[in-house]
Structures are given as structure tokens and as C-alpha cells.
């Protein structure tokens, strides 16, 4: 639970014309994709999630992270999005029900292309596999950027977030 909370806390989202005065397309930290809706200190919000996990114990649901907007080296989206996202949601349900496995990566468990229903999908398998790949080199920069962000938020950020970030950093360094 703490790992999933930390991964959610690390989220960033692209700026849109409606979302802020920042350059459209630039990334900003957007913990759990909820920043515009947080009515209190972000660190307290993280603590709330940690506390929920402590209270819920084994009853807590699985946490899944999806990047629908990952781009390849050529700038194209690797996943088609829209209705095709239901394929990933089906994998999530199948995973929860124990019907499919996952690859263990430095960031957690990721879907395997062969476990996704790709029937009729007009996307090259190589793009799907790249979208599923957790590249330690890419994560290294995200970790340090997130650490700076959490430090700017101040002492209200729970120590569990930093502990999980340190563990992720160690796994990424070991994999490089």
C-alpha cells in the first residue's frame, strides 16, 4: 500500500490550456492526478492515504498505475487510448482474480503483452511492449525530480513516502 501511495504521489500530468498558465504540454507534479481537487496540504493528503492503508490492512485494494500517454522515441503515443483502454482494465480485473500474471520490475508488477487481449488492436506489438517496459534509466530521473518535489512540500510529507522512494531508488540503481 505504501509503495502504491508513493507511486501515486509521484504522478505528473501534461499541462492543458484549461489547466494552468504553464506551457501547454509541459509536465507538472499532479499527485494521484488530484492536485486541482486537494483542499488541504498535499503532505496531509499523502498521510491520509498512508493512514487508510494502516487501518485497512489486508482488506485494502490493489493499486494500479497506468500511463495512457507514454510516447515512443519518435513522439508517437505507444498506446491508442480511448476505448482500447478497456483492454488494460480487463487485465487489471484478471490480475486481481488471479487469472493472469505479471512481470516483476523495479517499479512493481507490470502487465505482460501476452496477457493483454490484443485481438484486433491496430497497434504494433513492439509499441505495446515498449509501453509496458519499466526502464530503470527513465525512472532514475523521475525519482530525483519527485524527491525534490516532496522536499519542497516540507515536513508534512510522511516519512513512509521517502522510505518507499529510497527503496525504489535502490532497486533502480541495482538494475542499471
Q: Is the pLDDT of residue 35 over 60?
A: yes
CA separation for the pair 110, 152 (Å, rounded): 30
Report, as an integer, the average pLDDT of 32-36: 94
| Residue 15, pLDDT score | 74
Q: What is the pLDDT of residues 102-125, one digit of tens each?
A: 999 999 999 999 999 999 999 999
Domains defined along the chain, listed by start:
2-175 (3.90.228.20)
Report, as an integer, the average pLDDT of 14-21: 66
**What pTM does this model have?**
0.90
Q: What is the dihedral sign for C-alpha 135, 166, 28, 34? A: positive
Q: Is the pLDDT of residue 20 over 60?
A: no
| Residue 176, pLDDT score | 81
Q: What is the pLDDT of residues 63-99, one digit of tens each?
A: 999 999 999 999 999 999 999 999 999 999 999 999 9
**Cα–Cα nearest to 32, from 59, 66, 77, 81:** 66
| Residue 60, pLDDT score | 96
Q: Which residues does residue 103 pair with via DSSP β-bridges, in sequence order?
A: 110
Do residues 93 and 61 make contact, with C-beta atoms less than 8 angstroms apart?
Answer: no
| Residue 24, pLDDT score | 67
| Residue 26, pLDDT score | 82
Amino acid at each position: 500500500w505504501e509503495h502504491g501511495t508513493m507511486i501515486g504521489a509521484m504522478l505528473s500530468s501534461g499541462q492543458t490550456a484549461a489547466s494552468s498558465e504553464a506551457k501547454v504540454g509541459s509536465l507538472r507534479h499532479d499527485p494521484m492526478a488530484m492536485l486541482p481537487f486537494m483542499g488541504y496540504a498535499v503532505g496531509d493528503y499523502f498521510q491520509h492515504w498512508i493512514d487508510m492503508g494502516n487501518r485497512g490492512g489486508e482488506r485494502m485494494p490493489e493499486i494500479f498505475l497506468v500511463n495512457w500517454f507514454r510516447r515512443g522515441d519518435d513522439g508517437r503515443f505507444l498506446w491508442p487510448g480511448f476505448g482500447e483502454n478497456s483492454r488494460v482494465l480487463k487485465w487489471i480485473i484478471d490480475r486481481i482474480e488471479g487469472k493472469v500474471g505479471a512481470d516483476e520490475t523495479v517499479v512493481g508488477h507490470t502487465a505482460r503483452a501476452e496477457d493483454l487481449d490484443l485481438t484486433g488492436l491496430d497497434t504494433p506489438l513492439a509499441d505495446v511492449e515498449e509501453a509496458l517496459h519499466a526502464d530503470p534509466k527513465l525512472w532514475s530521473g523521475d525519482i530525483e525530480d519527485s524527491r525534490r518535489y516532496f522536499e519542497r512540500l516540507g515536513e508534512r510529507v510522511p516519512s513512509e513516502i521517502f522510505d518507499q522512494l529510497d527503496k525504489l531508488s535502490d532497486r533502480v540503481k541495482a538494475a542499471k
